[in-house]
Structure 1
Amino acid sequence: MRWISLRLRLMLVFALVALAAAVSASAIAYWLNRDAVLTRTQNAALDDFRKSLQDNTGSLPLVPTCADLQEAADRMAATSQKYEVLLIGAVKGGTTCAAPSDRDLFTLTVVPKTLVTAVNRERKVDESNPYPYHLYWQRITLGGKPYLVGGAKVIGGGPTGYLLKSLDNERADLNSLAWSLGIATGLALIGSALLAQAAASTVLRPVQRLGDAARRLGEGKLDTRLRVSGTDELADLSRTFNKTAEALQKRVEDLSSREAASRRFVADMSHELRTPLTAITAVTEVLEDEADSLDPMIAPAVQLVVSETRRLNDLVENLMEVTRFDAGTARLVLDHVDIADQITACIDARAWLDAVELDAERGIMARLDPRRLDVILANLIGNALKHGGSPVRVSVRQTEEALVIAVRDHGPGIPEDVLPHVFDRFYKASASRPRSEGSGLGLSIALENAHIHGGEITAENSAEGGAVFTLTLPRESEPDGGAGAAPERGPAEGESR
């Protein structure tokens, strides 16, 4: 079903209600006027016919001739009511004569048989019925035109008389009335549409303003407020919106200030740690170089200090990188990169050549940030080697607009409850190894680096076994504006699962 706006629905409802009311009122007015017009015409003709029948048949001989009946019929038809008359009675010679005022229009065949039967039926005279015969009438159609037919039998043995009155003028008047009512209905419909438009505008204008304000609020413009006037339900809704927006703004400002303070703390802490870490790293490197000449009892402790120092150094670098992403200061330094060469260099620099299979054609070029692409690849491949197992297969394919790099391992795959969290910061699948190598930031940093390129990373389990991480990058990334503040060496690969 197609979407219909609220304004159109209101107008349709108004129009339908107005149409139903106008049609009902017009129909009632038409039928009332029709009944009044026909009843007035009918009563006038029948009353005149009854009186004329009594006056003109009372002067006839006891046994009239056919000419007498004809003359009486002509006199009766000459009244102002303009109806035709048919007199039927017994005449001299023992025969029955039918004398019509218009032989071409009104004959006994025109009179319905049911009317003839009713007129000639003699009723029992009693207190409730003082006359044996009554006047009856019926409406008929002749040649497509309406007529009134009435008849009565003269009491005391006189002739039977029938009248035929045309109702064509009344029908014309009623048709004119119907046209007038139709025009009035149309005007009422147009007026209702205009009123509906005005009512819809009055009702929907505050709703539209509320919708626009909610949209601006959703876009982050937390200072959006509505001008409130009136005391109706829409005014109460606007006041509620303003109170909600004010509370939301205060809450967001509070959270933003806390988040900014947290970012400053992490950044300051990372920067403060770099100076002592530099000194500690220099000492551990000396100790590592002298490890062969150290006492065998001391060597394991020295090796632990060296590894933990490197791990701490990687964690600080990762935290600084995360801080740049959160602060929005991370930038791209773009260059045209041969993807196959870049992946090979990443694998070779980390001595993974024996554990990684590369399926990539040379000559696939893309405009990317080489350092950030190296960070992404190092984290994805390192994660696959650490948690999935060899061999890890890296495949590259390209479309007209995108570059797709898939990293697949041959391990047990990612548990379904872990899969939604693999890119979360500091997330580790196993609670039993909270101090395992890696910070839990590697995959989240890889995802942020993909996002800054305008790309995406997805994780899923392969039907053939193992996990598959798919990196999708645009062939032409848009720079974020200038050289980046990121360090020259990328963050170390993190532990995510």
Structure 2
Amino acid sequence: MLARLRLSSLRLRLVVVFALVALTAAVSASGIAYWLNREAVLKRTQDSALNDFRQEMQNRAAALPQRPTQDDLRRTAEQMAAGSANYQVLLLGERAAGKPIVGASDPDAFTLADVPAALRKAVDTRRPVTETNPYPYHLFWQRTERGGTPYLVGGTRIDGGGPAGYMFKSLAAEKADLNSLSWSLGIATGLAVIGSVLMAQVAATTVLRPVRRLGEAARQLGEGKLDTRLRVTGADELSDLSRTFNSAAENLQKKVADMSAREESSRRFVADMSHELRTPLTALTAVTEVLEDEQDTLDPMIAPAVALVVSETRRLNDLVENLMEVTRFDAGTARLVLDDVDIADQITACVDARAWLDAVDLDAERGLMCRLDPRRLDVILANLIGNALKHGGSPVRVAVRTEPGPDGEDLVIAVRDHGPGIPEEVLPHVFDRFYKASAQRPRSEGSGLGLSIAMENALIHGGTITAANSADEDGAVDGAVFVLRLPRDASAVAGEPDARSGRDGGVDQ
């Protein structure tokens, strides 16, 4: 589900990028097209109206008398406005010095108040006649707006004391045409964006399909399906990536097969060796037991050698048992045999069987029942308590409590000693096989497998063991603490409640 969400997110990003690129291109093209068409439409209308107005001023307004009447101005303005350019005209003359009169083609549509003051000032300004400026008065124009409707206002004056004329043309038709153009360009932009989104969907599908297949293949490879391969077609970059994946998967499969074969060979060798050693060890054990019984009657010169043989034979027997237990864990044949266990009784029995009662302080309530494998729990406790007695010294405190766990209630057993503690550099390795911190602690005669086997037995229950140092009130190290955490009911972890495991695991003592 998460992979699909990520894929959808990547698809969404591709679609958004395509849409943004198309939108930017379409908006830019539409904006340029609108601006060019707007200028062309307005310039054509503007030039046509102003040229016609200029011609009318030269033909009609110039023919007016020096002191025209208001009727003369009005009739001339009406004649000028009657042309094909469709604009209103206003003529401004003087019936006497300092007495202006105005004649308009339509006083209701165009008055002198509609002419901007800046335009009137420019029209009335007389410029000196030169070689580059043959006319004292020029035609000026300005775009303005009234009531939301755009207009073109132009004006000029007849040389020699003639009247000034102004034209007023509505640009509403041009505005409507430009609005239609903008709507058309907007629709075209929207269609371009929609088209780009559809193209992005097609492109994303084309690109993401092999990526999705590659992700699925990588997931299967991570799940252990080392024979997963991709079907390669084409010669593009994704095809090269698929070939690289297939090559890497093939090399990984070969290496894993080689490592599995070597591991299986090593495991079989250890199992066979342990099995072959048990027969002579059984005979040796029987002989050493007889020698141990007769040790008091032996020659004092021979007794130490006999004691050494007895000790080393027992140590060798423990090592073989530990190796066989490790082999079962590695082979995956170790199984839980569950039973209802009174934890306090179980710990007491474990301590009593090894004659540790005087060295162990137990803090556990009677009647705390758990469904666990009693043999494996005994192995765990024997290793943890034995390790604390060996490296930390007595008294060893064993505290039992229950705590809420992720899948119900957990059993927590803390084993604490009062020794020098565990060096910080050793803590990460205390559960490693054959690891012994001989440089930091007194010499150990164990195999280095006890804590590793304890951890394996905890894991098969669905639990774990942690190691740490405890501190006193002054913050100084005051011994090591091993905390065993197991589910109170391991039925869900057992899988095969009727299965029987192999022989007992050993204790690293």
Does the TM-score normalized on the shorter chain lie above 0.5?
Answer: yes
- Indicate the percent of aligned positions where both proteins have the same amino acid: 73
Matched, 1:485 2:501: yes
Query: Which residue, out of 294, 315, 322, partners 1:318?
Result: 322
Give yes or no for contact 1:64–1:92 (8 Å, CA) kept in 2: no
CA–CA separation in structure 1 for the residues paired with 2:24 and 2:179: 21
CA–CA separation in structure 1 for the residues paired with 2:135 and 2:363: 118
Shift of 1:179: 1.9
SS in 1 for 2:455: helix
Give yes or no for contact 1:374–1:490 (8 Å, CA) kept in 2: no
Query: Which residue, out of 97, 100, 106, partners 1:96?
Result: 100
5+ residue gaps, structure 1: none
Tell me which moved more, 356-365 or 258-267.
356-365
Shift of 1:380: 0.5
Residue number in structure 1 paired with 2:480:
467
Query: Which residue, out of 126, 131, 137, partners 1:127?
Result: 131
Residue 354 to residue 484, structure 1, CA distance change in 2 (3 Å): same
Residue number in structure 2 paired with 1:421:
429
CA–CA separation in structure 2 for the residues paired with 1:354 and 1:65: 139
CA–CA separation in structure 1 for the residues paired with 2:138 and 2:193: 49
Aligned pair count reads 492
Give yes or no for contact 1:388–1:467 (8 Å, CA) kept in 2: yes
SS in 2 for 1:228: coil
Matched, 1:162 2:166: yes
SS in 2 for 1:466: strand
CA–CA separation in structure 1 for the residues paired with 2:443 and 2:361: 30
CA–CA separation in structure 1 for the residues paired with 2:77 and 2:372: 114
Q: Which amino acid aligns with 1:29?
A: A
CA–CA separation in structure 2 for the residues paired with 1:364 and 1:113: 104
Give yes or no for contact 2:395–2:418 (8 Å, CA) kept in 1: yes
CA–CA separation in structure 2 for the residues paired with 1:13 and 1:83: 50
CA–CA separation in structure 2 for the residues paired with 1:404 and 1:444: 19
CA–CA separation in structure 2 for the residues paired with 1:265 and 1:141: 101
CA–CA separation in structure 2 for the residues paired with 1:136 and 1:94: 24
SS in 2 for 1:137: strand
Shift of 1:434: 11
1:92-124 CA distance string (max 9 Å, x none) = 687321111121232212111111111111222
Give yes or no for contact 1:10–1:200 (8 Å, CA) kept in 2: yes
Give yes or no for contact 1:89–1:159 (8 Å, CA) kept in 2: yes
SS in 2 for 1:47: helix
Residue 422 to residue 81, structure 1, CA distance change in 2 (3 Å): same
Residue number in structure 2 paired with 1:9:
13
Tell me which moved more, 226-235 or 478-487.
478-487
CA–CA separation in structure 2 for the residues paired with 1:354 and 1:435: 24
Q: Normalized against structure 2, the TM-score is what?
A: 0.93
Residue number in structure 1 paired with 2:475:
none
SS in 2 for 1:394: strand
Residue number in structure 2 paired with 1:279:
283
CA–CA separation in structure 2 for the residues paired with 1:113 and 1:85: 17
Shift of 1:299: 0.6
Query: Which residue, out of 21, 26, 29, partners 1:25?
Result: 29
Query: Which residue, out of 447, 450, 462, partners 2:458?
Result: 450
5+ residue gaps, structure 2: 473-477
Instruction: Kindly report the root-mean-square deviation, in angstroms, between the aligned alpha carbons of the 2 structures.
Output: 1.8
Report 1:376-415 matches (<5 A).
Answer: 376-400=380-404, 401=408, 402-415=410-423
1:438-488 CA distance string (max 9 Å, x none) = 11000000011111111111111113321111111112212242423321x
Residue number in structure 1 paired with 2:60:
56
Residue number in structure 1 paired with 2:268:
264
Residue 185 to residue 463, structure 1, CA distance change in 2 (3 Å): farther
CA–CA separation in structure 1 for the residues paired with 2:149 and 2:499: 97
Give yes or no for contact 1:331–1:483 (8 Å, CA) kept in 2: yes
1:145-181 CA distance string (max 9 Å, x none) = 2111000111233211000111112112212222222
Report 1:127-146 matches (<5 A).
Answer: 127-146=131-150
SS in 2 for 1:146: strand
Tell me which moved more, 271-280 or 19-28.
19-28
Residue number in structure 2 paired with 1:441:
449
Report 1:233-272 matches (<5 A).
Answer: 233-272=237-276
CA–CA separation in structure 2 for the residues paired with 1:273 and 1:480: 32
CA–CA separation in structure 2 for the residues paired with 1:415 and 1:93: 117
Query: Which residue, out of 422, 430, 433, partners 2:438?
Result: 430
Shift of 1:21: 1.4
SS in 1 for 2:328: helix
Query: Which residue, out of 329, 352, 363, partners 1:348?
Result: 352
CA–CA separation in structure 2 for the residues paired with 1:434 and 1:408: 18
Shift of 1:432: 9.1
Residue number in structure 1 paired with 2:218:
214
Give yes or no for contact 1:151–1:162 (8 Å, CA) kept in 2: yes
Give yes or no for contact 1:53–1:161 (8 Å, CA) kept in 2: yes
Matched, 1:175 2:179: yes
Residue 220 to residue 16, structure 1, CA distance change in 2 (3 Å): same
CA–CA separation in structure 1 for the residues paired with 2:98 and 2:278: 145
Shift of 1:363: 1.8
Shift of 1:91: 2.8
Tell me which moved more, 442-451 or 192-201.
192-201
1:265-292 CA distance string (max 9 Å, x none) = 0000000000000000000000001111
SS in 2 for 1:155: coil
CA–CA separation in structure 2 for the residues paired with 1:94 and 1:429: 120
CA–CA separation in structure 2 for the residues paired with 1:432 and 1:276: 36
